[in-house]
Amino acid sequence: MKVIASPIPEVLILEPNVFGDDRGFFFESFNQARFDAAVGRSVVFLQDNHSRSEKNVVRGLHYQIQQPQGKLVRVTEGEVFDVAVDLRKSSATFGQWYGTVLSAENKKQLWIPEGFGHGFAVLSDSAEFLYKTTDYWMPEHERCIAWNDAALAIQWPLSGEAILSTKDACGAAFITAEIFS
């Protein structure tokens, strides 16, 4: 596994070693010891999630203000633009975002630690998105920041109008959102 740094030091791109031939391919999608070494600490994942979305669907920017979740995300079908936003007030990168393309083809994963908002936009006709979380989903602690908040100025590479859930359409402004200390 190749570990690629992002401009936000704690957010990492993980690129697997893929072994392919005329029959197809094989790669190790997760190895606890290698993952812990890459992030520099022991991480325990408690929940796996799987979603499917159509082109131009935007999900996020989501986080849990209590029982925050670290997320290891990847795409098994299609392509998304995946975004992490630093919501830790004490961080040197507070309010900064990082985005990258994750796809079934590139097989990359993104590690988004606790204290970050997360979202993605579907770039292909559809996409299947899998992610591991370090804590359970707690709807009473879930928060959402507007995906298109001007203060964040995320450059979403959409090819049409964003398709949002009711919750995501009502996301809070970054300036008024609950954040981490």
63, 98, 118, 131: the catalytic one is: 131
* Rounded Cα–Cα distance for residues 73 and 14 (Å): 10
Catalytic site includes residue 62: yes
* Active-site position among 62, 63, 98, 118: 62
CA–CA gap between residue 27 and residue 31 (Å, rounded):
11
CB distance 38 to 5 below 8 Å? no
Residue 140 phi/psi, 5° resolution? -70, -20
| Strand, coil or helix: 172 | strand
Residues designated as active site: 62, 131
